[in-house]
Amino acid sequence: MVTQLLTADGGEWEVSKHLQEIMALAADGTLYLSESHQNDIHVLSFIDRLDRRGFRYQLNLTDLQTIHQLYRAVAMDGLVDSDGQRATQMQERV
């Protein structure tokens, strides 16, 4: 079960909405990538950034629906609010 997406708004590896439509990087290092977009120049650039920074990831080719469900599930679980902040962090401050 994915509990945090690093590529979500406000995440450590935040990406554009375009990239959020085709990929998601989970906190456990799983990079979910649309199989039909694995040669996208923006995806390749993101993967290059991960490699250059020594971020260890495991590629998981999947479909677009699965990626959309990941972002939706994390948002619905309240782990990421509309500003991309972790809800638990916001609650700790209150």
So what's the pLDDT on residue 75? 82
Examine residue 11 and state whether it is found in any structural domain, yes or no: no
So what's the pLDDT on residue 90? 45
So what's the pLDDT on residue 47? 98
C-beta separation of 19 from 43 below 8 A: yes
So what's the pLDDT on residue 84? 52
Examine residue 4 and state whether it is found in any structural domain, yes or no: no
C-beta separation of 70 from 8 below 8 A: no
Structural domain of 41: 17-93
Examine residue 5 and state whether it is found in any structural domain, yes or no: no
Examine residue 37 and state whether it is found in any structural domain, yes or no: yes
Examine residue 56 and state whether it is found in any structural domain, yes or no: yes
pLDDT in tens, the chain (94 residues): 677 999 998 899 999 999 999 999 999 999 999 999 999 999 999 999 999 999 999 999 999 999 999 999 888 776 544 455 554 544 454 4
Examine residue 26 and state whether it is found in any structural domain, yes or no: yes
Element (H, E) at 89: helix 87-93
Examine residue 64 and state whether it is found in any structural domain, yes or no: yes
Quickly list H helices, the chain: 17-22, 41-52, 64-76, 87-93
